[in-house]
């Protein structure tokens, strides 16, 4: 499945507008390779987190040891552990030093389904394998060992989806699962997709 597409796509969501990046990441492939095999899926839900006017953004109060990856360079992973329970995976965007990223909230599984089900539990339904940021990280074996990883290379990378429609039915909504800045419409979904978070 792997193609060297990052160079062609980097300008779409790295070093430029984070809100637009959140939209443009929809429909792209997220791929993860481990010794167990490859898992991959189509990104169907994202959320933008901004450095200004967004108190829900981890970078809103400045750079710390925990959020350092969020400050760039763009095109790397920002992975953090939350609630003592699960991981969240973000694509760092915006110019280096700004502190912005796009949370990948949900993925439609397309490859490595058996491996995802093994990681998530055999009774897990297909549409529940990666329908939320914590579930996604579990299914894709993403943890803080990948924090700061360049998403142009193995074992975790993004790539183009030549089979995606030229125009996706994208809907913009308020973010979910945040306690502040709930009114900001910074969540993007592929409308009608059955693999969205719940």
CA-wise closest residue to 158 among 45, 73, 46, 32:
32
How confident is the model at residue 165, as a pLDDT? 76
When pLDDT is cut at 50, 70 and 90, the band that residue 94 belongs to is confident
Q: Is the pLDDT of residue 164 over 90?
A: no
Specify whether the CB–CB gap between 163 and 3 falls below 8 A: no
What are the domain boundaries of the chain?
6-190
pTM (two decimals): 0.91
Q: Which CATH number fits domain 6-190: 3.40.50.2000, 3.40.50.720, 3.10.300.10, 3.40.190.100?
A: 3.10.300.10
pLDDT at 78: 97
Rounded to the nearest 10 degrees, what angle do helices 113-120 and 133-140 cross at? 110
CB 10 within 8 A of CB 89: no
Element (H, E) at 91: strand 86-93
């Amino acid at each position: 499945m792997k193609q060297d597409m990052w160079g062609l796509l980097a300008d779409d969501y790295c070093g430029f507008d984070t809100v637009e990046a959140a939209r443009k990441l929809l429909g792209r492939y997220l791929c993860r390779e481990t010794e167990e095999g490859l898992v991959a899926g189509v990104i169907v839900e994202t959320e933008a987190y901004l450095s200004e006017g967004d108190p829900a953004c981890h970078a809103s109060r400045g750079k710390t040891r925990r959020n350092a990856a969020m400050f760039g360079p763009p095109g790397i992973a920002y992975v953090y552990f939350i609630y003592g329970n699960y991981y969240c995976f973000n694509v760092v965007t915006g110019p280096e030093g700004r502190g912005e990223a796009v949370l990948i909230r949900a993925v439609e599984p397309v490859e490595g389904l058996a491996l995802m089900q093994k990681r998530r539990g055999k009774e897990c339904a297909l549409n529940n394998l990666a329908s939320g940021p914590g579930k996604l990280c579990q299914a894709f074996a993403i943890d803080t060992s990948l924090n700061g990883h360049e998403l142009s290379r193995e074992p975790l990378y993004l790539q183009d989806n030549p089979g995606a429609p030229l125009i996706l039915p994208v809907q913009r909504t308020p973010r979910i699962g945040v306690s502040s800045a709930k009114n900001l419409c910074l969540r993007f979904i592929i409308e009608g997709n059955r693999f969205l978070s719940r």
